[in-house]
């Protein structure tokens, strides 16, 4: 059985978010996308080195068929989020999903759409009862 890739670091996760959103990208495209977000200080060579390391870890795949290498995420967004959340829930909230959700909702106000999604999930978990 194949060993799952390690959890991404904060910087690696920022790169994965670019690849999940935009799809296949060159180093330059990833760098430019990071410049437009909160990662404004990231230099091109750092992005290149991170992508090389991420390739070795199995977090991204590199297409070397052309002169400019193209990278794509090798890990699924939802699966990665679940693994990160599971780890956080265990380490910070003693495994309590309720504590995690309460803390998350008290930290940042949810939009009406998000609240509706949460209600649907709660209804589903309760077996459709209201």
| CA angle, 39 then 42 then 47, to 5° | 110
The label of the residue with tokens 């999604």 reads 117
Whole-number Å distance between alpha carbons of 43 and 89: 33
21-60 tens-digit pLDDT: 999 999 999 999 999 987 678 899 999 999 999 999 999 9
Encode pLDDT of 57-86 as tens digits. Answer: 999 999 988 788 899 999 999 999 999 999
Q: Which two tokens stand for residue 36?
A: 């437009």
d(CA 120, CA 75): 28
Q: Is the pLDDT of residue 95 over 70?
A: yes
**What is the CA angle 66-69-72, rounded to 5?**
120
CA dist 43 → 8, 34, 77, 113 (Å): 19, 10, 25, 37
């Amino acid at each position: 059985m194949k060993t799952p890739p390690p959890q991404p670091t904060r910087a690696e996760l920022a790169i994965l978010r670019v690849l999940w959103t935009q799809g296949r990208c060159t180093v330059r495209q990833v760098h430019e996308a990071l410049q437009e977000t909160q990662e404004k200080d990231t230099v091109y060579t750092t992005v290149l080195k991170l992508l090389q390391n991420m390739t070795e870890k199995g977090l991204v795949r590199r297409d070397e068929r052309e002169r400019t290498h193209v990278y794509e995420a090798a890990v699924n967004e939802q699966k990665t989020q679940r693994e990160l959340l599971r780890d956080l829930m265990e380490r910070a909230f003693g495994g309590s999903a309720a504590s995690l959700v309460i803390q998350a909702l008290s930290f940042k106000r949810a939009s009406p759409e998000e609240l509706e999604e949460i209600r649907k999930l709660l209804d589903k978990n309760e077996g459709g009862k209201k």
